[in-house]
Amino acid sequence: MKWAAGAALAVASGLLFSPFGGQSQILAAGSRAPSGSRRWSMVVDLERCNGCKECTDACIEEHDVPPAWGNPSYNGKQEWIRVVETSNDPNNGAPFLPMPCMNCQNAPCTKVCPVGATYYNDEGLVVIDNTRCIGCRFCIAACPYDRRYFNWGEPPHAPNEQFINYTPDYPVPHKIGTTEKCNWCSHRVRMGRLPACVDACRKEGMKALFFGDANEDAITNGEETWVLSEILARRGGYRLQEELGTEPSLYYLPPTGRGSS
Amino acid sequence: MRESSSTPKLLQPLMNYSKAYYAFIGLLLGIVGLGTYAYATQLQNGLVVTAMRNNVLWGLYITNFVFFIGISHVGALMSAILRLSGAEWRKPVTRMAEAITACSLAMGAIMPIVDLGRPDRILNILLYGRIQSPILWDFISIGTYLTGSLVFLLLPLIPDIALLRDKLSGVSVLRQKIYRILSFGWKGTAYQHERLEKAIGVMTILIIPIAISVHTVVSWIFAMTLRVGWNSSVFGPYFVAGALLSGVASVLLAMALFRWFYHLEEYLTPRHFRNLANLMLAMIVVYIYFTLNEYLTPAYKWETAEGQLLGSLFTGEFSAAFLFVQVGGLVVPAILIALPKTRNILGYSVASVLIVLGMWIKRFLIVVPTLARAQFGDYWATYNPSWVEWSITAASIAGFILLYTVFSRIFPIISIWETGGITAEPAESGPSISLGGFGFPASQRFPSQDGSGFGGNSEVAD
């Protein structure tokens, strides 16, 4: 049976090292573990959110977000940041839950991608390469927060798109048959700007969305700057479905009083 | 061989093509054509022509995928396990089972590609494949199983193809060519028989773990996610059990149909059906056991999200389908097989139809309800498959039947040399083969004392 063992070994080593290796994806830490010096984090002060959806609007405008093709949507568009109404109880201090991508540090989506099309970029943000995505939708099935969308049909294309040099940081032009999601405005973050939703929330006066680097322990909404660890401890910050072990980088601050906001 | 009254029964279907046969093939081709048109529409417009949307992001295609891969398991069970356990009654049945494996695997393997949003980028799986993704596991194991089962189908065919090469002179040049190539110069010598049986022995062993891995890995596509209803450790064996059940049922159905249409009563006796039905009954019991494990444990606890999903299955939107699977697809077939009154070929066939139908619906119930339940926002998405999806589904079933029928018209669907349906082997091939009662000489059926029985050692011959 020597030949059989030899063949099995050859096949196994072939799988591990050569033909499926592609460029860098095979067993490469790069795609599966966040790397780089940044630990971008987002904080949502639920007490301040009034459900106005300016964040969603700004996001749609920023990315020319494709249609939702009949899915629950906002103005017919995919809701990369979705404001979920969690309660219609007037005494509930926080009836709205804005949900962008959770940017999990143990992301189920990057785990299951067969071609490494969704991965952590060098800013540590989960992005999608829509030139590589094969459209299997496994990542959408795997996301426990329903934060991924699919371009079921051909997305509309604005004339100025042709001048945009596509990068996974800024997924325009959008492509049919590929997955889409919020990537925390990776293109803006790279330039030292706040994500579009955070900017919009401040401009609208809610100032509920904060963004910052956990390594610097500072977050800002563009106007106020807080110490991340301190505010999380003082306000009892929490993450969604902590028990799943996905390690989201997005924290929610529960309301302090009743009927405020 | 000129056509004559002495034409062996098993060769009849290979020579006499009736009008009804051509009409049947035409019908199947028509359905496949419709599916092809539907797929062309999908290629042109994208998956928007399906009813799949963000919540129910997998639908009929993945249901069919799991279904066909499930059916394909029967080759390994019928041929390999029964071969190994020395169940001699399997002989007229094995080739049917192996052919079902090959045909349904072909259809099953197409389905995920049909489901892709970017089929044009399918090669990315080779170029950038990540071995950490269950889809890669699927890709590898299904590829291996397809190759393995084709070899497993072909090996025991060789002596029969040689027979066709020598005896069927009235057929088209193309078919003569196929027979000549695929018989690999088989002359039926003792040496060739010995080598062939060693090769079959090796494949018999190899195919079992491959087959089990395939359906386990298919289940892991679901079980490796955090979703309620899929996040289950019992999925691997549960899927394998379901696969074997649906596979046995489809072989039984194929047997009944071939017996009817090709007049194979003397080869496929009630005993074959009874044995297979008993096997089916055993698989039903195993499947019910797994079903109990799968549903009772979360139902007892009724954790919020699990409760929502189970509620939709037990009393909600999917309850009719769920009830049909449990009662129509498992309990009623078990009763049909068990009751003396229905212990006949008709009863078994009805049971098989119910099982196959039930298993398809079961796969739908695995894929869809879990996705339909939104994980945030407390709503349920609806999914009513579009004409494109139904057409492609119909085409995949028609394609399966087409492949199978054409196979049975080009190659004998019952092994001639193993069943002794015809004595065409030269005398030197030894009595154990040409008499047919015995495919494996005793020395090959178990590893010989030096352990080389399955190893393909060539010392003996050299």
Q: What is the 3-state secondary structure (H, E, C) of chain A?
A: CHHHHHHHHHHHHHHHHCCCCCCCCCCCHHHHCCCCCCCEEEEEECCCCCCCCHHHHHHHHHHCCCECCCCCCECCECCCCEEEECCCCCCCCCCEEEECCCCCCCCHHHHHCCCCCEEECCCCCEEECCCCCCCCCHHHHHCCCCCEEECCCCCCCCHHHHHCCCECCECCCCCCCCEEECCCCHHHHHCCCCCHHHHHHHHCCCCCEEEEECCCCEEECCCCEEEHHHHHHHHCCECCCHHHCCCCCEEEECCCCCCCC
Q: Is B441 on the interface with A (CB under 8 A)?
A: no
* Alpha carbons B137 and B356: distance in angstroms, whole number: 26
In the 8-state DSSP scheme, what is residue B362?
Answer: H
Contacts A–B by Cβ distance under 8 A:
156
Closest Cα in chain A to B456: A1
Of A69, A82, A134, the CB nearest to B118: A134
Tell me which of B169 and A9 has the higher pLDDT.
Answer: B169
Closest Cα in chain B to A11: B140
Q: What is the pLDDT of residue A34?
A: 72
Tell me the whole-structure pTM to 2 decimals: 0.87
Can you tell me which residue has the tokens 């990540």? B130
Confidence of residue A7 (pLDDT cuts 50, 70, 90): low
Taking an 8 Å cut-off on Cβ atoms, the answer to whether B135 and A114 are in contact is yes
Whether residue A136 is contained in a domain is answered as yes
Q: What is the pLDDT of residue B356?
A: 95
Confidence of residue A32 (pLDDT cuts 50, 70, 90): low
Taking an 8 Å cut-off on Cβ atoms, the answer to whether A134 and B225 are in contact is no
Q: What residue segments make up the domains of chain B, in order of their start? A: 22-445
Taking an 8 Å cut-off on Cβ atoms, the answer to whether B132 and A27 are in contact is yes
Q: Are A209 and A198 in contact (CB under 8 A)?
A: yes
Of A22, A108, A153, the CB nearest to B45: A153
Q: What is the pLDDT of residue A6?
A: 56
Q: Which residues in chain B land under pLDDT 50?
A: 1-6, 422-462
Of B115, B221, B377, the CB nearest to A84: B377
* Alpha carbons A217 and A222: distance in angstroms, whole number: 15
Whether residue A214 is contained in a domain is answered as yes
Angle, alpha carbons B127-B210-B297 (nearest 5°) = 100
Which residues of chain B neighbour A23 with C-beta distances below 8 Å?
Answer: 128
Q: Tell me what the mean pLDDT of segment A30-35 comes to.
A: 61
Tell me which of B455 and A249 has the higher pLDDT.
Answer: A249
Residue B286 CA to its chain's centroid (Å)? 19
Q: What pairs with residue A250 in β-bridges? A: A42
Q: What is the pLDDT of residue B6?
A: 42
Which residues of chain A neighbour B133 with C-beta distances below 8 Å?
Answer: 111-115, 138
Q: Are B87 and B415 in contact (CB under 8 A)?
A: no
Number of domains in chain A: 1
Question: Whats the size of chain B, residue-wise?
Answer: 462
Whether residue A3 is contained in a domain is answered as no
* Alpha carbons A240 and A102: distance in angstroms, whole number: 8
Of B54, B139, B377, the CB nearest to A149: B54
Determine the 3-state secondary structure of B420 from DSSP.
coil
Whether residue A184 is contained in a domain is answered as yes
Kindly report the CATH number assigned to the domain that includes residue A133.
3.30.70.20
Average pLDDT value over all residues in chain A: 86
CA proximity to A252, closest of A41, A58, A74: A41
Whether residue A149 is contained in a domain is answered as yes
Q: What is the pLDDT of residue A153?
A: 94
Q: Cβ–Cβ contacts within 10 Å for residue A72, how many?
A: 16
Q: What is the pLDDT of residue B239?
A: 94
pLDDT at A71 over 80: no
Closest Cα in chain B to A79: B54
Of B130, B135, B376, the CB nearest to A136: B135
Can you tell me which residue has the tokens 């954790």? B303
Whether residue A98 is contained in a domain is answered as yes
Whether residue A197 is contained in a domain is answered as yes
Share above pLDDT 90 across residues of chain A, in percent, rounded to a whole number:
72
Confidence of residue A9 (pLDDT cuts 50, 70, 90): low
Specify burial of residue A153 (Cβ count, 10 A radius: 0-12, 13-18, 19+): middle
Note the pLDDT tens digit of each residue in B135-174: 999 999 999 999 999 999 999 899 989 988 888 777 788 8
Q: Are B230 and B222 in contact (CB under 8 A)?
A: yes
Q: What is the pLDDT of residue B167?
A: 82
Taking the CA atoms of B212, B70, B63 and B325 in sequence, report the sign of the dihedral they define. negative
CATH architecture of B22-445: Up-down Bundle (1.20)
Q: What is the pLDDT of residue B450?
A: 40
